[in-house]
Amino acid sequence: MTVDRHALQRVLDGRWAQVRNEIRAQMDELAFNPDPDLTTEEYRALTTENLKLLASTGRPRQGFDPAYGGGGDVGGVVTAFAMLGFGDLSLLVKAGVQWGLFGGAVQVLGTKHHHDAYLRQIMDGELLGCFAMTETGHGSDVQHLRTTATYDPETREFVVHTPDPGARKDYIGNAARDGRMAVVFAQLVTQGRSHGVHALLVPIRDEDGNPMPGVTIGDCGHKAGLNGVDNGRLTFDHVRVPREALLNRFGDVSEDGTYTSSIANETRRFFTMLGTLVRGRISVAGGACTATQKALALAIRYGAIRRQFADPATGEEVVVLDYLVHQRKLLPALATTYALHFAQADLVSDMHDLQTPGAEGDEWRQRELETRAAGIKAVATWHATATIQTCREACGGAGYLSANLLPALKADTDVFTTFEGDNTVLLQLVAKTLLSDYGRRVARLSPVGKAKFAADLVADAVVERTGARALLRRGDVTDREYQRWLLVERERHLLANAAQRMRKALAPGADQFGIFNGAQDHLIAAARAHVDRIVFDSFAAAVDRTTDAGVRDLLAEVLRLYALTVIENDRAFFIEHSYLTPGRAKTVTQAVNALCGRLRPHARTLVDGFGIPERWLECPLLEGEKEQPAAPPAPSQDDEPSDLASVG
């Protein structure tokens, strides 16, 4: 199997290859590895400079409405954003706050008035802003934020107010230093009635950078990472903004205070607003993917030159990536990274088709996109945290030095698992959507269909109890169809069982919280199983559409390892529910080991395929690539015979 790394890169680059290549060229200008000894203030200033430089490339415009000079290329801008993950992640996050969250909210929650007034300045980075949703007391449960925006018909103004310390806006990017304006999420109150959370544009600093009257700005200070981003806190003391400050696409207040909305149900309205902001979540997943790729490129290339311990037969020191346990640490993670890359690319592509200005809206597709975005964000960011950690450890002491780039990757991406939606909460959302879709499907069945459905559940339980299922469907665990069957069945099984458990909550007087809580781990497992399966499907589709035979064969092997990794990690489930016999489960582990060995010679090609500009990987860790000394150890004069195997 010979594989051309450029052909592989083209497959990975996919639909926005052009954008990726432009960013690769532009990043060369932006390039910097911030000195880790910068103070927080110096690093923030540097990041702001880089943000302006980025604005001057015109790249951020590409995501906005062409009517205001934007490029309308939603998918391209999200792809470009993710590419910043190869560089400094503070810049990535600061750009995400400015153009994704702040600019994105103005674009999708605002109307012509707001677009006319602000979009151009936002695109060009002249007006820096914040996305002030999270409060100290409410991070995940944002429907219950406590900041209020009360309409005063006398003056035709909204009064934005922080009623208690828990309602303080917290962890807000761009707040501590640079932001002039904030999109503030608050409970909208008019004519004595609350209409749920809405967003308003509130100036927070004047021209000279001083806080506006009534606005108190705090600083979150030093963080575990991302110290180029100025996270801060905002407190409002009866701050007045004009009626037009309301981003009024989904709900408006007339001059006399009458509230109107195209969406009558308050909860549905709120989640529709949130849904339009899905781009942020997709962008975080993209950043997590590229950061993971960079960490793997470093660790795998180092593993291919680092030698330790001699082969007793040759006396020559062994390259550490030739050790099975080292392969086991890195190659399944690499396979999963490939799988997530393609799943993320599909997500971006579908979002582009759905959100491109002028595209036809479709509630079902939007809902599916949001669910998928939530699931992939959770899985991709946890994968990033775990994999970057593994890469650091795989590089030993060298991986701990800031000069070798891994420490910043680790520290900066750490918060990805809890921002833009806490991962556990996101997976719960995914489970909730899956369950209600499931419920609707069942509800639509005819009476006969319902009876058959119930009978099938009983039969399923029987076949599981007797262990017959695993005998009914035999297969080779390395076979793609068999692998998919396992992933599909796991998803179906967990979902059906979760639905049965949650059904009890409908009984009169049921302890709803108790039932939900007792099944919470089960719900999360169902959501994960769903995400694993859709990620598999994205990857499989990518393999099938690959025309270069060498690349296709290699990707098929990587897909195989990805699926085996998922199955191996949860093989207890498959045995417990009789999808695998204990004997066949053991072959999974053997197959993973064998595949690691088969992919080892392609490890370098696989990380080269990510197309990370070489300049962004330059560090002392990889200096050895230039020399590659054979480095045979001085053999001891009288080595003890190894007593490793002295049995019997």
Cβ-based neighbour number of residue 521 at 10 Å: 9
Q: Which is nearer to a copy of itself, 312 or 358 (CB)?
A: 312
Q: Which is nearer to a copy of itself, 255 or 643 (CB)?
A: 643
Count of residues of this chain found to bind a copy of itself when the rule CB under 8 A is applied: 125
Using DSSP bridges, classify how beta strands 239-242 and 232-236 pair: parallel, antiparallel or unpaired.
unpaired
Q: Which is nearer to a copy of itself, 361 or 583 (CB)?
A: 583
The first and second tokens of residue 108, run together, are 């999708």
Where does 466-601 have alpha helices with state H?
Answer: 468-472, 480-503, 512-518, 520-545, 549-569, 571-576, 582-599
Q: Which helix (H) or strand (E) holds 131?
A: strand 129-132
- Asked whether position 309 contacts a copy of itself by CB under 8 A, the answer is yes
Q: How far is the CB of 593 from a copy of itself (least distance, A)?
A: 7
Q: CA–CA separation, 63 vs 235, rounded Å?
A: 31
In contact, 594 and 561? CB cutoff 8 Å? no
- Asked whether position 379 contacts a copy of itself by CB under 8 A, the answer is no
- Asked whether position 222 contacts a copy of itself by CB under 8 A, the answer is yes
In contact, 135 and 126? CB cutoff 8 Å? no
Q: Which is nearer to a copy of itself, 134 or 605 (CB)?
A: 134
In contact, 102 and 131? CB cutoff 8 Å? yes
Residue identified by tokens 């491109």 is: 356
Q: Which stretch binds a copy of itself (CB under 8 A): 1-9, 403-411, 527-535, 541-549?
A: 403-411
Q: Which is nearer to a copy of itself, 155 or 590 (CB)?
A: 590
Q: Which is nearer to a copy of itself, 37 or 614 (CB)?
A: 37
- Asked whether position 170 contacts a copy of itself by CB under 8 A, the answer is yes
Distances (CA, A) of 604 to 35, 303, 342, 441: 29, 10, 19, 46
- Asked whether position 146 contacts a copy of itself by CB under 8 A, the answer is yes
Question: DSSP of 204-220, one letter per residue?
Answer: -B-TTSPBPTTEEEEE-
Q: Which stretch binds a copy of itself (CB under 8 A): 13-21, 239-247, 543-551, 625-633?
A: 625-633
Using CB under 8 A, which of 58, 213, 221, 242 touches a copy of itself?
221
Using CB under 8 A, which of 29, 311, 479, 625 touches a copy of itself?
311
Residue type present at position 188: L
Q: 21 to 80, contacts with a copy of itself by CB under 8 A?
A: 36-37, 39-40
Using CB under 8 A, which of 26, 117, 319, 323 touches a copy of itself?
323
- Asked whether position 260 contacts a copy of itself by CB under 8 A, the answer is no
Q: CA–CA separation, 454 vs 500, rounded Å?
A: 11
- Asked whether position 134 contacts a copy of itself by CB under 8 A, the answer is yes
Q: 405 to 434, contacts with a copy of itself by CB under 8 A?
A: 406-407, 410-411, 414-415, 417-419, 422-424, 432
Asked whether the CA dihedral 381, 383, 389, 391 is positive or negative, the reply is negative
For residue 3, report the phi and psi dihedrals to the nearest 5 degrees: -130, 130
Using CB under 8 A, which of 238, 452, 503, 545 touches a copy of itself?
503
Rg (CA), the chain: 27
- Asked whether position 402 contacts a copy of itself by CB under 8 A, the answer is yes
Q: Which stretch binds a copy of itself (CB under 8 A): 9-17, 60-68, 218-226, 348-356?
A: 218-226
- Asked whether position 646 contacts a copy of itself by CB under 8 A, the answer is yes
Q: Which stretch binds a copy of itself (CB under 8 A): 236-244, 347-355, 390-398, 476-484?
A: 390-398
Q: Which stretch binds a copy of itself (CB under 8 A): 88-96, 245-253, 372-380, 401-409?
A: 401-409
Half-sphere exposure of 362 (CA within 13 A, CB side): 11
The dihedral over CA atoms of 183, 186, 189, 190, expressed in degrees to the nearest 10, equals 0
In contact, 172 and 132? CB cutoff 8 Å? yes
Q: How far is the CB of 1 from a copy of itself (least distance, A)?
A: 22
- Asked whether position 636 contacts a copy of itself by CB under 8 A, the answer is yes
